[in-house]
Amino acid sequence: MYIADLHIHSRYSRATSKDCTPEHLDLWARRKGIHIVGTGDFTHPAWRKELEEKLVPAEEGLYVLKHEYRIEDGLDTGGPAPRFIITGEISSIYKKGDRVRKVHSLILLPGLEAAEVIAGKLEAIGNIHSDGRPILGLDCHDLLEIVLELCPDAIFVPAHIWTPHFSLFGAFSGFDTVEECFGDLSPYIHAMETGLSSDPPMNWRVSALDKYQLISNSDAHSPAKLGREANLLDITLSYPGLRDAVQYGKGLYGTIEFFPEEGKYHFDGHRKCSLCLTPADTERYHGVCPVCGKKITIGVSHRVEQLSDREEGYVKADAAGFESLVPLPEVIGASVGHAPASAGVQKEYIRMLKRLGTEFDILRAVPVEEIRGTSGALIAEGIRRLREGKVGRVPGFDGEYGTIRLFEPREIEETSGQMDFFDLLGMGRGSADAAGKAAMVNDTVRQEKEPKEKRDKEPVEIKMKEQQTKGQRTEAKGAVGSGLNKEQEHAMICPARTIAVVAGPGTGKTRTLAARILYLLEQRKVKPSEITAVTFTNEAARELKERIQREAGSRRRIGRLKTGTFHAICLAFLKEQGLTFSIVDETEAREIAGEAAKEAGIRITGKKLAAQASMEKSRGLPEEELSPEVKVYNRLLRERGLFDFDDLLLETLRLLEGKAADGWQKSYAYLFVDEFQDINPLQYRLVKAWNENGRELFVIGDPDQSIYGFRGADARCFARLGDDYPGLETIRLTENYRSTSEIVSSALHVISGNPGHARTLHANREGGTIVRLAGAESPMGEAIFVAKEINRLAGGIGMLEAHEAAHDQGERKIRAFDDIAVLYRTHQDAELLETCLKREGIPYVVAGRESFLQEDIVRGSLHFFRYLADELDRHAKEQSLKILWNLDRNPVSEEVFGRMAEKYRPLYAKEKPQKFLKLWMQEIQAPDNLAMKKLSQMAVFYKDMGELSDALSLGVESDLKRCGGRQYTSGAVTLMTLHGSKGLEYPVTFIFGVRKGKMPLESERYEADMEEERRLFYVGMTRAEEELILTSSGEESVFVKGMPDRIFTREQVHKKKKEVAGHQMSLFDF
């Protein structure tokens, strides 16, 4: 018979002992009498490296500690060396079914090789370096799928399934059924880890668990805690033998259990109010603490009661056996009225191990008489009572461990001689305060029971009310325009030839745009092929078309309805006209601009000249009015058959205005332009050209959100439109459905600093949280605050934080990571935030164009991919040869390149981007290249390589996302610039760096455009739906000065601790 403890942690996990090393785990497994012990934390790279160094293979799938690392403690407990099995725990925090879920999963693997493979996959998903138990915003279903795909022999077990905060059935963030969590993969779950606060009889009450093996483990955070719970296995010593036991019960003889009452979440209650309650008490108090009025923390017993369908006392016929024990130091301590960790108790503990054998042998098998002869009558009596289950039980609650009482205090005091014995061990006569306190708590526990029907009544009524409330908020489907307000409906049906809709933030701009298009399709029977909608981003184009198709349903096909950005539409148009050209990337444009500067004889960098050229072109200047150096730049492009992005628009405009293209007019008969405030003069001319013979023009946007002046955008474009189209009808949308009144009022206060008409924006949502400005002592202090606050908003990402958050937040909503965005002025600001989020273990994605895209290995790869998509693109071929392989075109390089293209073209067409890139990185021997890894992290957001290539070629900042290690598109905090946030919304929005010099952005080289900077800040503020949190250090931004106290509050955070002489403060010592 073997004893196995399969769920533990290394020193790389949070809140663990520094002694959680292979050496000390081996030592304590020997002391305890544990034969198989999990390694824990297989995802952590440093821990895996240490395991590889210190362990050697033993039986199949098992390891032993190398002899040179063994700690000799003078105890000869006998038996073979403990075996190690590779294990780890993953924390999944994600949103599913409109709730934030927090579930921990235990994974057992057949070896370090499998651990390396799975960890490599997970590294592309989240940060696995900062915590041995990594936190991933990954659905448990997807985690299980990944594990089984990479290692079919893996054992996947939902961990401590009843723990309130982090478990499958947890009261705060779990599910009611296995199927809710794992869906179609539920059949691959074969075992459940019951956790410290429940025992097998409690689990037997839930018939849905009958088909699962019930296992128990310690979840130890220090070596001395090994074996608090364990498994009894009658198996062949090997991974396959253990797998058969855990998965199918073959050889699972039973479990060693905590007394469930000793678990810190057994009963309900409030620790701060010293209130411990039975489930019946909690129902009687309607879930509200009678002392403080806050929500009661629901315990495991209550949660089992909610999901059970059998009465208490039910015994499962074919169940494995179990034993309930307490650690030997607790028995010794209880016998003498001293704490288990006291020096005298520990001294006696070691003495007993030396004389009697392992801890489990002493607790389970050594004759009581032998124990009496070695350690005295009271310890022997304590062990006898323990074996017979004759113990007093004081239930744990709300994070406070319960107490298992072997003796009443008077029994210890009345036992003559026992104290004298321990006096000899140097233990002095101690008080029994702890036991007395436990007895008093026990006396306050209400034990009344109520009929299950009565207990169930109120939760059912509450659930029904929630469902009814949700139903009232759901808008009716069917008729076009259902649910629109008066102004939106007017915009939908307005008969004017030219319409401008001024839509403030959160006023339903996209909805109104989609409703207008649907109205044309459904009511006016306009053909989809006659409609073109121009959007500012590729993402907006995709979402608009999907929304229209979703609303239209199966009523009609809209495939020929054209949506896209200016650049995407122009590129497609030029290709249709038969033009042959290649598009230069940003780096190549700068290189050519540098050549032009030299040829023109001016001292200017290629970067500056490229920006100057773009600005001149975006104004739509004719060739003769361009500066001499830009003319040279244009000539160099034409000589090489190249276009930059502005040339796509210019060439399209040339063909349209010169009447050199035919057959295009019909598709622009009904022209829609989104984000009209951000168009530049060149794009304005394109709109006029497209609409010259069209029937209707519909533009929508908000002058107060014009933030691209540096690209030539002009907020006065709405006024210009009125001049050019005298019959223009202007409609204003002023009902904000996104943000609370506090956020709307604060934003209006900011934008009112700009000249113009009085702004009107009404908050449709009920009042919410006041806008906060958190002041720190430094930008690092700001970043630390953001990371800590996100942890708190998520309800805590560790056991301790979750427990504290449950008390501090009361009824406050728990946020999913993807409910949260952090906005900043420049990409450099993201570096501090990334450091702190990684340190906190919070998954995140970074949106926007980053410098790694300009590295040669990435640029060369992207050129190769463009050639795969279009084999006529000779420029892409030449660039990839030059950049990737440093080769010119010649017969040898042509042959090599041809073979490579032939190999990868079919893969480009059929493989998912991340899989394709993984193969490609191996091909070019760059599996660990940081820039390529970042490209791979970006790739997971796109459905195919074509979509990724288009986003990288033509996408604006908000089209581009990179995960801070994430692979799936949900469950991560978003980091992005204020510019990149345009058009997006988040329940919680942080704006980082609201300080002088940063907002507005100041530079010695140019003067800040205060009006545009204020509009940019206004855009950032109005991304927030429910909570807006600003951070600052030093002098705060002028934009937030004078904010009314009723909607805005200031707070100071991260006060440094006083430095102690000789102590250097840590980065996170705030």
The 10 Å Cβ neighbour count of residue 577 is 15
Give the single-character DSSP code of 71.
P
22 known ligand binder = no
Quick check: 988 and 1027 in contact, CB under 8 A? yes
- Cα first-last separation, the chain: 51
| DSSP SS3 for 924 | coil
User: To which residue do tokens 């029907």 refer?
Assistant: 453
> In the 3-class helix/strand/coil scheme, how is 216-258 assigned residue by residue?
CCCCECCHHHCCCCEEEECCCCCHHHHHHHHHHCCCEEEEEEC
3-state helix, strand, coil in the chain (%, to 5): 45, 15, 40
Could you give the residue ranges of the DSSP H alpha helices within 706-828? 717-724, 741-751, 779-793, 799-809
DSSP lists the bridge partners of residue 520 as none
Instruction: List CB contacts of 293: < 8 A, sequence separation 6 or more.
Output: none
The 10 Å Cβ neighbour count of residue 501 is 27
d(C-alpha 671, C-alpha 976), whole Å:
31
Q: Considering only the C-alpha atoms of the chain, give the largest distance between any 2 of them, rounded to a whole number of Å.
A: 113
d(C-alpha 923, C-alpha 919), whole Å:
6
Which backbone phi and psi does 146 adopt, to 5 degrees?
A: -65, -45
DSSP lists the bridge partners of residue 579 as none
527 known ligand binder = no
d(C-alpha 493, C-alpha 472), whole Å:
26
> In the 3-class helix/strand/coil scheme, how is 120-183 assigned residue by residue?
HHHHCCCCCCCCCCCEECCCHHHHHHHHHHHCCCCEEEECCCCCCCCCCCCCCCCCCCHHHHHH
Interhelix angle 112-123/45-54, nearest 10 degrees:
170
C-alpha count within 13 angstroms, C-beta hemisphere, residue 535: 23
469 known ligand binder = no
DSSP lists the bridge partners of residue 1051 as 774
> In the 3-class helix/strand/coil scheme, how is 488-557 assigned residue by residue?
HHHHHHCCCCEEEEEECCCCCHHHHHHHHHHHHHHCCCCCHHHEEEEECCHHHHHHHHHHHHHHHHHHCC
| Whether residue 57 has a cis bond before it, omega within 30° of 0 | no
d(C-alpha 875, C-alpha 891), whole Å:
17
Instruction: List CB contacts of 332: < 8 A, sequence separation 6 or more.
Output: 340, 345, 348, 349, 352, 375, 379, 382
* Tokens standing for residue 894: 């042509």
532 known ligand binder = no
Quick check: 23 and 234 in contact, CB under 8 A? no
Indicate the burial class of 928 (C-beta count within 10 angstroms; 0-12, 13-18, 19 or more): exposed
d(C-alpha 258, C-alpha 265), whole Å:
13
Q: Which one, of 74, 92, 70, lies nearest residue 82 by Cα?
A: 70
* Tokens standing for residue 988: 């919680």
87 known ligand binder = no
508 known ligand binder = yes
Interhelix angle 681-691/566-576, nearest 10 degrees:
50
DSSP lists the bridge partners of residue 1050 as 773
d(C-alpha 193, C-alpha 108), whole Å:
13
Positions at the binding site for ATP: 503-510
Positions at the binding site: 503-510
